[in-house]
Amino acid sequence: KAGVTQTPRYLIKTRGQQVTLSCSPISGHRSVSWYQQTPGQGLQFLFEYFSETQRNKGNFPGRFSGRQFSNSRSEMNVSTLELGDSALYLCASRPTSGVLPAGEQYFGPGTRLTVT
């Protein structure tokens, strides 16, 4: 099976712009989670989508949003970019047990976002 894929791998944006990142989960996985990784903070949970519905949300401002499509692919959008949004954005998918996501997460390689 192909792993989790993320596009683009690298992105440079200017303050005030917006950005959209994409994540394709492992085939059959319906849960996609998004994380922000920075050197000082480690991994911070952004949100999780399952069956096109947001199921969990971390403590990030409303500038961070996401969605999931019927094929389980997910996008994350950040509006009005700030310098502090520079980070590695990781997505992870996990399998389903019954009607809920379960099991360990499988991570993509990440999108490195630099805001100048």
Assess 66 for contact with other proteins (CB under 8 A).
Answer: no
Q: Binding to other proteins by residue 42, rule CB under 8 A?
A: yes
State yes or no: residue 113 binds other proteins (CB under 8 A).
no
**Of 76, 78, 92, 115, the one binding other proteins by CB under 8 A:** 92
State in angstroms the smallest separation of the CB of 57 from other proteins.
Answer: 9
Q: Which residues contact 93 (CB under 8 A, 6 or more apart)?
A: 4, 23, 25, 26, 29, 31, 32, 33, 72, 105, 106
Residue in 45, 65, 67, 79 binding other proteins, rule: CB under 8 A? 45
| Distance from C-alpha of 37 to C-alpha of 10, rounded to nearest angstrom | 14
